[in-house]
Amino acid sequence: MGLVVEVLAVEWMLPLLEAHVHHVTDYEYHMILLGTLRLALPCTIAWLLSVGYGVFHLYTNLLAELTRFGDRGFYREWWNVNTLRDYWRLWNAPMYGFFKRHVLLPLYSLAEEVEISLQALCHSPSPSMEKKRKGPSKPVKMASFVVIFLLSAFLHEIVMVVRKREGG
């Protein structure tokens, strides 16, 4: 698999980069965009082979086999989804479970406590609390998902920086 990604990089990506590198120094933005679009397909193929198959399938299952870890649900059928939200939920099941348990649910309960505190200060029940709804309101859900997305992006960037500093 590493050989396939290397051949992909040397035979497809490197010639594209060499053909478009002078456009960057000449500030030809339309050609930079064209070069970026031409790199999209080989970069996606390389990412799916190296990260998707290499890390999420081979490496995690090897570690699970060596440690006799029974639950092998590292990813679910992300290739069959219709929405971006379902994709993010299914493609990395351990991260989704971690963020749901340790970030999303505490944010929901915090938002509920804040809403109750605000009602106590105003001495009047809000229309949203008069009718008992299931779960948090849409603004709370959206804010929670934004917080989780930013936290996930931050943690992934830390992993990449540590990997780069180690020479990987």
Would you state the structure tokens that stand for residue 81, as one six-digit string?
A: 């989804």
CA 69, distance to chain mean position in Å, is: 24
Instruction: Identify the active-site residue in 22, 57, 102, 156.
Output: 156
Indicate if 156 belongs to the active site: yes
User: Which token pair is 36?
Assistant: 């970026």
Are the beta carbons of 8 and 45 closer than 8 angstroms?
yes
Q: Which of 96, 86, 111, 94 is nearest to 149 (CA)?
A: 96
CA 91 – CA 151 distance, rounded (Å)? 17
Q: Which active-site residues does the annotation give?
A: 156
